[in-house]
Structure 1
């Protein structure tokens, strides 16, 4: 294992240990992820309404499996 891999691995283990011991950082991390997810969803909605037009957006079914 090279030194760079070892330093990345040890930094990851230390950060995961810190997150598990102090749950306030975990809550902040989850809040940040939810904010980013909402921003991405809003940008996808704006992009699809710009490309398809707002009148044709009702015909666009994005929730099909």
Structure 2
């Protein structure tokens, strides 16, 4: 799922001094990307991570006992 909070992934082996600066410029200058990242951050801060992890555990592995 593409969230739109970063530019396209640059595979590690392709990260060079030519490929990295344009990606950084996009991150620093794209207003839509910034707003999406801000919204994603707010949503993640409002989640109950421990409860979600326990629910996922039970959903995929079943209850213990």
TM-score normalised per structure 2: 0.39
- Structure in which a larger fraction of residues adopt helix: 1
Bigger radius of gyration, 1 or 2?
Answer: 1
TM-score normalised per structure 1: 0.39
